[in-house]
Structure 1
Amino acid sequence: MTPLWLGGVSGAHAGIALATGLAGLANAWLLWRALRRDGGFVLAPGWGRHLLRIGVAALVMTGVVLMSAHAIGDWRAWSGMARWGWLLAVVAAGAGAYGLALMACGWRPRELRGL
């Protein structure tokens, strides 16, 4: 974060989250590579379809959140309670869109029980 801050980058505080996310991705990739090499990781049938559903639902959720944020406009113009209310509404809309998209792709809640 410090090089970004010293460089005058707007939103330099997001560098911490960026670094954490990149470290997590690197760690997951290294773990996957080691497990794959040692034969400890084999995808079961149906995982490709499952990951595709999650990807589609994530794209739908992203679209809903971005459209909602664009429709609301500048968050800084709102008072504290209005910001909380709109933030809650955007998060709820994103979560709802994610769930509906999963169900539209064929996912059913009973899959959480391992059936």
Structure 2
Amino acid sequence: MLTGEGCPKTMLSIKDALDAVEGKWKLLILFTLSSGPKRFRQLAKEVSGITDKTLSKELKSLEGNRLVRREVFDTFPPTVEYSITPHGMSLGKVIEELHYWGLSHRKEIIGK
């Protein structure tokens, strides 16, 4: 268990991780892509509540952090597909733990 004392390297690594997955959408996008590659419209539908502009911005950020791969197919019109990278899949345990913590938190706060 981390104690929160002293180590600047630990603080830096936590900051780096938070920078890569910041916001309320990135982990949801990664979770959605963990079931397989998706086109933009599929992602927009499955990540309920996200706007096209925000989805586009978050996908670019995830791609820049090598968590998501964007592949353009030579079709007419061009087909673009997004998939989670092995580096993105390495967040699986984090997402799973957030899921369990979220269930516990909901029970604590709401009682359901």
* Smaller-chain TM-score bracket: under 0.3
Higher strand share: 2
* Max Rg structure: 1
TM-score by length of 2: 0.26
Higher helix share: 1
TM-score by length of 1: 0.25
